[in-house]
């Protein structure tokens, strides 16, 4: 739901009623005294999770769904997680309606307690970009200060997109020796660096890392 900073309280309540209906909640909930004040925004945890992902550059629907699996555990595993303002709102249709949270409370909590989204340091990316000799995934992982399994998962996800006809503009590079999945497969470090910063959910695009054809 988009925040309405302008307009009368009646306009805000009308917008909230339409939002409630869209997520399966009886629009009469706007009269519940536990609703967020007019300077705040009511939201469901699922809606807020999508906003949290997109704010961090995670826009691929599959990536958001995978992140959601982890985020569902945050209320039980992360300290001081906000309680819903209305845990059991009246339903507008069949099924259990989602709890209503304060978006402001969730945002404030995230600043202090949400896990930081991992981003590889730009200096490490540029160091990898400067290398010229083919490297194994283990060697690339050492340069990026990552576990080799992190690179393997990104590679396999890329290969799956390619196999499904859903390849993005930049996908995993072809090996310089061996085949994907081989223990000693090697890649050109600059091509891998370009793939790494363009994989889904990343917001780092150093200018130095251009196409290997340039």
The pLDDT, as a whole number, for residue 162 is 93
What token pair was written down for 55?
Answer: 């704010």
The pLDDT, as a whole number, for residue 55 is 75
The pLDDT, as a whole number, for residue 187 is 96
- Mean per-residue pLDDT, 31-39: 91
Whether 77 has a pLDDT exceeding 70, the answer reads yes
Structure confidence at residue 95 as a pLDDT band (50, 70, 90): confident
- Mean per-residue pLDDT, 25-34: 95
DSSP 8-state secondary structure symbol assigned to residue 33:
T
Summarised one tens digit per residue, pLDDT across range 156-188 is: 989 999 999 999 999 999 999 999 989 889 999
Q: What burial letters (b/e) apply to 84-123, b meaning 16+ CB within 10 Å?
A: bbbeebeebeeeebbbbbbbbbbbebbeeebeeeeebeee
Summarised one tens digit per residue, pLDDT across range 149-158 is: 888 888 998 9
């Amino acid at each position: 739901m988009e925040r309405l900073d302008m307009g009368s309280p009646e306009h805000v309540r009308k917008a909230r009623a339409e939002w409630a209906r869209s997520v399966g909640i009886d629009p009469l909930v706007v009269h519940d005294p536990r609703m967020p004040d007019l300077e705040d925004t009511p939201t469901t945890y699922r809606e807020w999770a999508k906003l949290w992902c997109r704010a961090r550059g995670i826009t691929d629907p599959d990536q958001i769904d995978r992140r959601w699996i982890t985020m569902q555990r945050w209320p039980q595993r992360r300290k001081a997680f906000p309680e819903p303002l209305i845990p059991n709102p009246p339903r507008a249709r069949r099924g259990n309606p989602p709890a209503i949270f304060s978006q402001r409370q969730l945002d404030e909590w995230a600043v202090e307690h949400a896990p930081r989204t991992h981003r590889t340091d730009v200096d490490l990316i540029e160091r990898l970009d400067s290398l010229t000799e083919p490297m194994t995934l283990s060697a690339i992982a050492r340069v990026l200060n990552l576990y080799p399994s992190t690179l393997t998962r990104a590679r396999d996800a890329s290969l799956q997109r390619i196999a499904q006809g859903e390849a993005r503009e930049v996908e995993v590079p072809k090996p310089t020796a061996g085949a994907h999945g081989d223990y000693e497969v090697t890649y050109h470090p600059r091509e891998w660096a370009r793939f790494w910063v363009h994989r889904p959910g990343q917001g780092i695009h150093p200018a130095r890392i251009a196409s290997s054809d340039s």
